Amino acid sequence: MQTFEHTLTTRDGVVLRVYDWRPDSTLRGVVVATHGHGEYGLKYTHVAQAITEGGYGWWGYDLRGHGYSGGPRGHVPRYAAYLSDLQQVLNLARATHPGLPVFLYGHSLGGQITLYYLLERQPQISGLVRGAILSAPWLVLAFQPPAWKVWLARAMANLAPTFTQETGLRDAIPMTHDSALLNAYPQPQLRHSWMSARLGMEALAAGELALERAGELNLPVLILHGEQDGVFAFEVSQTLYNRARSTDKTLLIYPGYYHEIHNELGRAQVFADMRQWLDRRA
């Protein structure tokens, strides 16, 4: 596997770090991946390794406010900025690998951003995107956050949008059964658990709206979810699947898996399912 890094400057001046993993063999296609909240692109190096083994490039990036990208930690000035950022990364990947089929991947908040991008921009119409993989997308929370936190975030969202709070999720809800992998993440100092008032309110609204608009989803889509996900219940992904208008749609629920299915003890099966899905559409 070959690794390259790029930087992009967004329309509002934020510098994004972009990671470009390529197989040693001939490229068959490219996957542009958006990580979850509090994560960073390098946390998916093992996923990139598994996908490049199938002959696909894996383009990851650090969301603004995450990893090596600029911006206040855990904050977005407006939700549309996420869509614009994804578009710029997608454009760079396509320009680097012209003529190859491009797929999107998103996990958790990244899954929500990817889904919302598909609904808002309909990239399949212009041929920009061949299909998408949504991993445990943030649609509706599976737990009730403390009422005072929600009240405070709602009050501060417009008054002081960069006001941040600790989510506390990683200490309260297990993400994977593989503790060894958790301790082996590259550059773990890049991880954080801060979320701004603006991001919190906009993400909650975007998830619910994306589920309402699921009937507009009309391109090949693979939805993946862990059956014991304590962050976003798999039943909501089932609802997304049922409502999607796509004639080519697949839902895979992994029994016993927690939220981060790509980090679970049985992740080899997840990677095999992803590669097989890509093979049939590349």
Torsion on CA atoms 224, 200, 142, 117, rounded to nearest 10: -30
* pLDDT of 133 higher than 90: yes
Q: Mean pLDDT over residues 122-149, rounded?
A: 88
Give Cα separations from 15 to 31, 64, 189 (angstroms).
Answer: 21, 8, 19
> What confidence category does residue 125 fall into, taking pLDDT thresholds of 50, 70 and 90?
confident
d(CA 2, CA 264): 25
d(CA 37, CA 212): 22
- Answer for the pair 62, 41: CB distance below 8 angstroms, yes or no: yes
Q: Mean pLDDT over residues 139-152, rounded?
A: 79
For residue 136, which of 260, 220, 245 has the smallest C-alpha distance?
260
- Answer for the pair 198, 81: CB distance below 8 angstroms, yes or no: no
The fold adopted by the segment(s) 2-281 is: Rossmann fold (3.40.50)
Q: What is the pLDDT of residues 90-99, one digit of tens each?
A: 999 999 999 9
Q: Mean pLDDT over residues 109-119, rounded?
A: 98
Q: What is the pLDDT of residues 208-242, one digit of tens each?
A: 999 999 999 999 999 999 999 999 999 999 999 99
In this prediction, residue 2 carries a pLDDT of 94
For residue 161, which of 38, 79, 61, 69 has the smallest C-alpha distance?
79
Percent of the chain with pLDDT over 70: 98
In this prediction, residue 149 carries a pLDDT of 72
Parse the chain into domains and list their residue ranges.
2-281
Strands 194-196 and 164-166: antiparallel
Reading the block at residue 123, the tokens are: 């990239």
* pLDDT of 146 higher than 80: no
For residue 248, which of 133, 138, 135, 139 has the smallest C-alpha distance?
133
The three-state DSSP-derived secondary structure of 131-179 is EEEEECCCCCCCCCCCHHHHHHHHHHHHHCCCCEEECCHHHHCCCCCCH
Q: Mean pLDDT over residues 67-87, rounded?
A: 96
- Answer for the pair 142, 234: CB distance below 8 angstroms, yes or no: no
